[in-house]
Amino acid sequence: MTIRIALIGTGAVGRGILEALAGKDLGIILTGVADSRSGVVNPDGISPSEVLRRKKETGLCGDASCNAEDVVRNADYDILVEVSPTDAGTGEPATSYIRTALSRGCHVVTSNKGPVALHYHELKQEADKAGVSFRFEATVAGAIPILHTLLESLGGNDVHALYGVLNGTCNYILTRMAEEGLSYRQALDEARALGYAEADPTYDVKGIDAAIKLVILANTVWNQRITLDDIDITGIDLLTEEAIRLAEEQDATIRLIGEIIPEKQLYRLSPRIIQKDHPLVVQGSLNAIILRTDLAGDLVFSGKGAGSLETASAVLGDITFIRDWYAGGN
């Protein structure tokens, strides 16, 4: 079975999706694509390779007379794939694109955290009313299929707790401070130089990014209605070399760990001292998650939490899930 998609956003994630579509026969037909300055619509299909070529040569994915809103409103698609640059504090413009697609009776897949953290319950209700799917695997832990695992694969289990290293930038900084004795500032500058940290790293190092992921997990998996204000947040920006050294003397290290214990209504993110052989001690920019369940026991996941192709992997997983689910008449 084939399925038609419209892609909004051709940044790192969008580029990864286009590269995957160009290199694989996944039964996915691209009928619309837009970036921040242009767009193109073709019900007969658009070549992902041609979009990539044009974007590289001109900086535009399509015609400047066509924009993202035009594509969302007018393209002929089954799934809107929404990966546009979006303000995490407002969820826009992604939330508006998502609502338009749902109102058209189309499925939605997004990698944007803002709409899910801020408006999950309303968007899920709109999707249910329209009889379509709203999926967002790529919003948490990149290539690790943690939401699919929690929402589908562990049906019948009570998940009593989740512990996770959920921000690759922070994990890289902490790894380098421990391994090479770098100061926080030196490790941050190195992370910037390698592209692991933004020019303004506040969102990552103060724990906001990881905390938003905890909000998404709590609200979607445990049906909570919490906001960022409900998370007890401590970032790594005040961590000293002395703290790292003291941990090393105990054959331990420090990681920024998110924690959800739903029965206690506990939602916390903070640097924690843990032994070096602990499953959450992953290196570099990796993410790691432990789930504590009643039937399956403790489950451990690790993998790349960000990256163009890694995030595209999560998005494509959602697309193919929708394709196969609805092909089966569900």
Q: How far apart are CA 235 and CA 238, in angstroms?
A: 7
DSSP 255: E
* Radius of gyration of the CA atoms of the chain, in A: 20
Active site residue 24: no
Is the four-CA dihedral 24, 127, 102, 142 of positive or negative sign?
negative
Q: How far apart are CA 149 and CA 144, in angstroms?
A: 9
CB 293 within 8 A of CB 301: no
DSSP 63: B
- The three-class DSSP label of residue 91 is coil
Among residues 55, 113, 206, 213, the one annotated as catalytic is 213
Please state whether 175 falls in left (phi above 0), alpha (psi between -120 and 50) or beta: alpha
Question: Kindly report the CA angle at 145 between 134 and 308, in degrees rounded to 5?
Answer: 85
Q: How far apart are CA 132 and CA 305, in angstroms?
A: 27
Bridge partners of 129?
Answer: none
For the chain, report the end-to-end CA distance as a whole number of angstroms.
14
Determine whether 25 is exposed, middle or buried from the number of CB atoms within 10 Å of its CB (0-12, 13-18, 19+). exposed
Q: Quick one: which of 110, 55, 306 has its CA closest to 195?
A: 306
Q: How many CB atoms lie within 10 A of CB 14?
A: 29
Catalytic residues: 213
